[in-house]
C-alpha cells in the first residue's frame, strides 16, 4: 500500500519523506550532502542505514544511487526475493531530474547521446570504450541577471554522473558542482535533484511519484517559484 508523505527525522541533521511504499519496496527522498549508502568509513552516516534503522528494516537495499550532493528520489528494496524484479523496474522507469546550471543556453530542448567512461573520481566522454548515455534536457526558466538556468533532465540511461558531465560538456555545468564546474565554488550545495519517478508496480499498475522543488533552490533562483507546477512533468 502507499504511505502518507510525512516528514521523518532520521538523525540530528537529516529529514526525509517516504513517498511510496508497498510490501516489496519503497521510494524515499534523500537529503543533499549525505552518502546514499555505506562508504569506506564505517562510522560515516549514510541515508540507507539511517532510514533502515528508523523504519526497522535491516535488509533495506539501495536499488538506485544518487551522488553525495544530489538530493531526491531513491528506490529501496525490502524483499531480497524481488531483487531482480526491482532492478528491471528501475531500468524501465521514467526518471526526471531538475537542475540549476550556470549560464543560459541558446536552446530550450536538447537531446544528448554520448559514451561515458568511469575514472577514479570523474567520468569522461569518450569516442570508444565507454557506455552509451542518453539524456533529454529542457530549459524551463532563465535568469539573465544571475546568469542561471533552471531545467529538467530526463535520463534514458542510468550512468554515473551522467547529467553532470553532459551539462558541463555543453558549457552549462550544474551550479555548485565542484568536480565538473567551478573548482572554487562557494555554493552551499549542488543544485541537482531527482524529481520524478514513474513506474509500473508489481500489480501492473502505473504509478508516478514526484517531489517538490527544494526550498533553498527558490531562494537561490527566485524566478523558479513563478513556474507552473505542470511544467515539470509535461
Provide the residue-wise pLDDT of the chain in tens; the chain has 234 residues. Answer: 455 577 889 878 899 999 999 999 999 999 999 999 887 787 788 999 999 999 999 999 999 999 999 999 999 999 999 999 999 999 999 999 999 999 999 999 999 999 999 988 899 999 988 999 999 999 999 999 999 999 999 999 989 999 999 999 999 999 999 999 988 888 999 999 999 999 999 999 999 999 999 999 999 999 997 775 554 544
Contacts of 45 (CB under 8 A, 6+ apart): 11, 14, 34, 35
**Cα–Cα distance list, 16 to 54, 74, 82 (Å):** 11, 11, 24
Class for the domain spanning 1-92 = alpha beta
Q: How far apart are alpha carbons 167 and 102 in whole angstroms?
A: 9
| Distance of alpha carbon 6 from the chain centroid | 20
Rounded (5°) CA angle 8-176-196: 45
Residue 120's pLDDT is 82
Are the CB atoms for 220 and 214 separated by under 8 Å?
no
DSSP E strands in the chain: the ranges are 7-9, 15-21, 25-30, 61-62, 71-77, 94-102, 109-118, 123-126, 131-143, 148-155, 192-200, 206-210
Q: Where in the chain is the domain with CATH 3.30.2350.10?
A: 1-92, 94-196+212-234
Global confidence as pTM: 0.93
94-196+212-234 falls under which CATH superfamily? Pseudouridine synthase (3.30.2350.10)
Copy the grid coordinates of residue 178: 565542484
Q: Say whether 232 sits in a helix, a strand or coil.
A: helix
Which residues on adjacent β-strands are paired with residue 26?
Answer: 21, 76
Cell numbers linked to 95: 526518471
Report the pLDDT value the prediction gives residue 135, as an integer from 0 to 100. 97
Write the burial class of residue 6 (CB in 10 Å: 0-12 exposed, 13-18 middle, 19+ buried): exposed
pLDDT, position 234: 47
Amino acid at each position: 500500500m502507499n504511505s502518507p508523505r510525512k516528514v521523518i527525522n532520521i538523525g540530528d541533521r537529516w529529514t526525509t519523506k517516504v513517498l511510496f511504499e508497498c510490501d516489496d519496496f519503497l521510494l524515499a527522498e534523500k537529503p543533499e550532502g549525505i552518502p546514499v549508502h555505506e562508504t569506506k568509513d564505517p562510522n560515516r552516516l549514510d541515508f540507507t542505514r539511517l532510514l533502515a534503522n528508523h523504519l526497522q528494516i535491516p535488509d533495506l537495499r539501495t536499488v538506485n544511487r544518487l551522488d553525495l550532493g544530489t538530493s531526491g528520489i531513491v528506490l529501496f528494496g525490502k524483499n531480497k526475493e524481488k531483487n531482480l524484479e526491482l532492478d528491471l523496474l528501475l531500468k524501465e522507469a521514467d526518471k526526471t531530474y531538475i537542475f540549476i546550471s550556470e549560464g543560459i543556453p541558446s536552446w530550450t530542448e536538447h537531446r544528448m547521446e554520448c559514451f561515458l567512461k568511469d575514472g577514479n573520481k570523474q567520468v569522461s566522454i569518450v569516442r570508444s570504450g565507454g557506455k552509451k548515455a542518453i539524456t533529454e534536457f529542457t530549459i524551463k526558466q532563465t535568469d539573465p541577471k544571475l546568469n542561471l538556468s533552471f531545467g529538467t533532465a530526463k535520463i534514458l540511461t542510468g550512468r554515473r554522473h551522467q547529467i553532470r558531465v553532459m551539462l558541463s560538456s555543453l558549457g552549462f555545468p550544474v551550479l555548485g558542482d565542484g568536480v565538473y564546474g567551478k573548482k572554487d565554488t562557494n555554493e552551499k550545495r549542488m543544485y541537482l535533484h531527482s524529481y520524478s519517478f514513474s513506474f509500473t508496480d508489481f500489480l501492473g499498475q502505473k504509478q508516478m511519484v514526484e517531489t517538490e522543488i527544494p526550498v533553498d533552490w527558490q531562494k537561490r533562483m527566485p524566478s523558479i517559484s513563478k513556474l507552473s507546477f505542470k511544467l515539470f512533468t509535461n
